[in-house]
Amino acid sequence: MTSLDEEKKRYNKAKESVQKLKIFYLHLILYGIVIALIAYNFYILEGPYTDVITGLNISIIVFWTIIIFIHGWRVFKGRLLFRKSWEDKKIKQLLEEKDEDKVETKIWE
């Protein structure tokens, strides 16, 4: 029974992790759309309130960028892009590929 409970906990934890990742990607897509709209706003901006609107847009970009960074940090904490285990796994994979190449050349020679 304990193995079923552990399996269920692992499944729930994995499901929660995938949900957090999905929300982060949606947040990132929304961020990209809003940044594109703000960039377009900079392009068409005219009038007496140009400085105020520009300041507001820049502050939105800065604060939302900070929020995206913090959200990404919370989602990906502990999962850096190039960890030591990744390097070791990649080295092992490349060595295995080289070994397979040697075996293939011996068969045909």
At 46, the amino acid letter reads E
Distances (CA, A) of 23 to 28, 36, 75, 104: 9, 20, 9, 46
CB-CB contact of 27 with 71 (8 Å): yes
* CA count, 13 A, side-chain hemisphere, 21: 9
- Compute the distance between CA of residue 61 and CA of residue 34 in angstroms, rounded to an integer: 9
Record the tokens describing residue 47, joined without a space: 């009038």
Q: What is this structure's pTM?
A: 0.66
For the stretch 54-107, pLDDT in tens is 999 999 999 999 999 999 998 888 666 666 777 777 788 888 877 665 555 555
